[in-house]
Structure 1
Amino acid sequence: MTTPYILITYYSRHGSTESMAKYIARGVNKVGNIEARIRQIPNISVTSEQIDAELPESGHPYVELDDIASCSGLLIGSPSYFGSMAAPVKHLIDQTSTLWMSGQLCDKPAGAFTSASSMHGGHEMTIQSIMTPLLHHGMVWLGLPYKNKSLISTMSGGTPYGASHLAKSTSESNLTLDEQLLCEAQGKRVAEFALKLR
């Protein structure tokens, strides 16, 4: 029997959401009998909605529908673009209608994480924009409860909707300690729920 996994898939232009994905994976890996699988979402051509490249130049492999279909839990990361998910993330989600019709994601735990370059750059709205289609899939949404002390002490990213990062410049992907701890907490929580729901 194969080991169940939490799929952590992200789109990242400047490295922030990729960094978050790695800390979320650390949280998943703190839970026994389940593993983290990190996959990146490819960029798309603005004019044609076609994937820019067949293989990533660097980083994690591209996500495939089979990765999503077979996961025991799902976490999606996106930079915040005007309070919403990035176009490549929306494009990926739009490809999941066959999974919706078959109910393959129903009753599996899900969450989202984001990065924005300003404190009020739409952290919560971006996470909610990802949440809506996953609720249509019948997934069980998990945020971050305030029992995580970093959610109270953070002076940068972090929301009860899901982990977030305040990237003060487009070249900055260094997460604060609070942001790191919240990412790990989110990964751990989704992994624990996935095992409970299996």
Structure 2
Amino acid sequence: MKLLVLYYSVHGHTGELARHIARGIEEVDGAEAWLRTVPRLTPATAAAEAAVPDSGAPYATLDDLRQCDGLALGSPTRFGNMAAPLKGFLDSTSELWLSGVLAGKPACVFTSTGTLHGGQESTLLSMMLPLLHHGMLMLGLPYTEAALSRTRTGGTPYGVSHWAGLDNQQPISDDEKQLCRALGARLARIAQQLKNAR
């Protein structure tokens, strides 16, 4: 069972959240996490990077989405919205929407931002919209996760969030790490249940 963890990260915090979510996925027997990213865009909105990144996760393809059993989608907050590179990739998925290949697959979202009230929840909601159009089944974090009530740094019932600080020096807290792993494991368990039910 393959779970796609697709993210865009500039300062590394969203990428780190993605890696913790991937760890949670792989705590579930038979689940494999695929880490993928998208290239940066220039102000002219053309791809500014090589076809293959120098390091880190490979760039996502439509086949990654087509073949996955579930999706965790992450972006830094940009004025209360997902970042343009991730939105651009999602805008290229019309053929998947037309075929309905993502319908019925589980999905979750995660984000990081520089300010404490910088639009984490609206960013999470903005990422949910295209996934709902694809017919994906949205998963959040239930309050049965004790870290959700305890955290002072990030975490919402809509998905994992992280407050990075204006200087991007705020480390990901233990509570945030725990919530990432919980969300990844929840995604993998639900994907497994849905696959077994087919």
Same fold by TM (over 0.5)? yes
Quote how far apart the aligned CAs of 1:50 are. Answer: 2.8
| Counterpart in the other structure of 2:148 | 151
Q: How does 1:99-178 map to 2 (within 5 A)?
A: 99-172=96-169, 174-178=171-175
TM-score by length of 2: 0.95
Q: Within the alignment, does 1:52 sit opposite 2:46 as a pair?
A: no
| Counterpart in the other structure of 1:19 | 16
TM-score by length of 1: 0.95
Read off the aligned partner of 1:70 and give its amino acid letter: Q
Quote how far apart the aligned CAs of 1:57 are. Answer: 2.2
Quote how far apart the aligned CAs of 1:127 are. Answer: 0.5
How many residue pairs match? The answer is: 195
| Counterpart in the other structure of 1:70 | 67
Runs of 5+ in structure 2 lacking a partner? Answer: none
| Counterpart in the other structure of 1:29 | 26
Secondary structure at 1:193 match in 2: helix
| Counterpart in the other structure of 1:98 | 95
Please say if residues 15 and 173 of structure 1, whose CA atoms lie closer than 8 Å, have aligned partners that are also in contact.
no
Runs of 5+ in structure 1 lacking a partner? Answer: none
| Counterpart in the other structure of 1:196 | 193
Quote how far apart the aligned CAs of 1:37 are. Answer: 0.7
Please say if residues 66 and 102 of structure 2, whose CA atoms lie closer than 8 Å, have aligned partners that are also in contact.
yes
Quote how far apart the aligned CAs of 1:183 are. Answer: 0.5
Read off the aligned partner of 1:38 and give its amino acid letter: L
* 4+ long deviations beyond 2 Å: 48-53, 169-174
Secondary structure at 1:80 match in 2: strand
Secondary structure at 2:107 match in 1: strand
Quote how far apart the aligned CAs of 1:181 are. Answer: 0.4
| Counterpart in the other structure of 1:42 | 39
Please say if residues 8 and 25 of structure 1, whose CA atoms lie closer than 8 Å, have aligned partners that are also in contact.
yes
Give me the identity figure in percent: 48
**C-alpha distance in 1 between matches for 2:71 and 2:167:** 26
Quote how far apart the aligned CAs of 1:46 are. Answer: 2.0
Secondary structure at 2:41 match in 1: coil
Please say if residues 144 and 186 of structure 1, whose CA atoms lie closer than 8 Å, have aligned partners that are also in contact.
yes
Please say if residues 11 and 17 of structure 1, whose CA atoms lie closer than 8 Å, have aligned partners that are also in contact.
yes
Quote how far apart the aligned CAs of 1:51 are. Answer: 4.6
